[in-house]
Amino acid sequence: MSRRRRPPPLDVLTYPLAGLLAEAPGSQRSYRIAAVVIPLDEPLELAEPIEGTLRVARTNRGVLVDGRLRASLRELCSRCLAEIEVPLDLVISEEVLPSVDILTGLPIDATAEPDVERLTSAHELDFGRLVRAAIALAEPIAPLCRPDCPGLCPICGALAVAGHGHVEEAVDPRLAPLLGWHPVDAEPPSDYTPPHRPVPARRRR
Ligand SMILES: [Zn+2]
Ligand SMILES: [Zn+2]
């Protein structure tokens, strides 16, 4: 007799809520989210597993999702390109509506509210989708390894710490007079307006 195969594990961060949907508004479930790793949309990448709590409360229309999570992204410092971890505190608060009526089992017409989050047809909360969206929103535009990161030297590419510099290369003395010379544009720029010159008023005869 072969041992029965276990069903594949549920997707992490997917929560079956049929039981909660059958309860009265106000009923709640709490979940601990510990050491959860989910794939993110490129190029985002978790540096540490996600930790936090999720509370789901039954409303008269669906459920109210309240997640408090701590995540950490692997990023590059936008100035010096060093690899850094960017910690994120995520607060996810969202009403999620059923896509199938819990009593009748019939699909619910979602066209009236196309933008609202929905449970799956099996009354599951796909919390991972909400987490991915919250992480993408919270990602800093220009992460820094430290607030005063000096960035890279444009000449040699090394970290431009205080005191870093390059001695100007010596100029051939025969070319020295050219140092202060700037070519004059032959044509004025198209948005150039000549300075106003007052026209002398004609004398009356
Ligand atoms: Zn940096
Ligand atoms: Zn340099």
- Cα(43) to centroid(ligand 2), Å: 30
Quick one: pLDDT at residue 205? 47
- Give residue-wise pLDDT tens across range 167-200: 876 666 776 666 665 655 555 556 656 556 555 5
Segments making up each domain of the chain, as ranges: 14-138
- Cα(38) to centroid(ligand 1), Å: 27
Which ligand is located closest to the Cα atom of residue 156?
A: 2
**For the CA atoms of the chain, what is the radius of gyration?**
32
What are φ and ψ of residue 131, in 5° steps?
-65, -45
- Give residue-wise pLDDT tens across range 144-175: 999 999 999 999 999 999 999 888 766 667 76
